[in-house]
Structure 1
Amino acid sequence: MDKVLLCVYGAVNLAVFIMYGIDKGKAKGGRWRISERTLVLSAVLGIVGGLMGMVVFHHKTRKPKFSVGLPIIFFAEAAAFVYLKFFL
């Protein structure tokens, strides 16, 4: 079961990473964009992919909603994981 969850988590993070890349490409081309709300909500499910997308594509790095918000989400999810794994 742990392997399945890890694979699903990896696939979700890959999808979020790709979303950030697509949005960056659209931004460069001046085309229709993925909404910031969608990007943030997707990062809640795939925070590693969101953070990697920000770094690799240099996307949304100047917006506090992303540059501050995503690391906060990361640490909150990490703390929740540690709590659930070791204290319950």
Structure 2
Amino acid sequence: MYVLIGYFIIISIVGFILMGIDKKRSQKGQWRVPEIRFWTIGLLGGGIGLYMGMKTYHHKTKHKTFTIGMPVVILINLLCYGYAVYVLK
């Protein structure tokens, strides 16, 4: 159970940091993080970290796919967390 919690915390931190890196690169006109990477991290359990990164860095907040899609990903994450906790009891 603790391994699962640790995994979700780490993947969320990765998502948060990745959002910050992409924001900095966009400001400098550098190579950007592909959007598919954000969605992959989100669907692997990092939705909360990505959403927190969006709000903290004010990044991807004008993209409807992110402002609507990321809360949906978070809901999917929460359902998966709940199911995993239920199964691992």
TM (norm. structure 2) is 0.84
Output the CA distance in 1 between the equivalents of 2:18 and 2:84. Answer: 29
Deviations 1:51-83 (A, max 9, x none): 111011111011011000001111223234445
Moved over 4 A (4+): 83-87
Query: How many equivalent residue pairs?
Result: 87
1:66 counterpart = 2:73:
no
Quote the residue 1:30 is aligned against.
29
RMSD of Structure 2 on Structure 1 (CA) = 1.9
Q: Unmatched 5+ residue regions in structure 1? A: none
- Which structure has more relative contact order (CA 8 Å, sep 6+)? It is 2
The one-letter code of the counterpart of 2:4 is: L
Shift of 1:7: 1.1
Percent sequence identity over aligned pairs: 30
In the alignment, residue 22 of structure 1 is paired with which amino acid? Answer: I
Q: Taking structure 1 as the reference length, what is the TM-score of the superposition?
A: 0.85
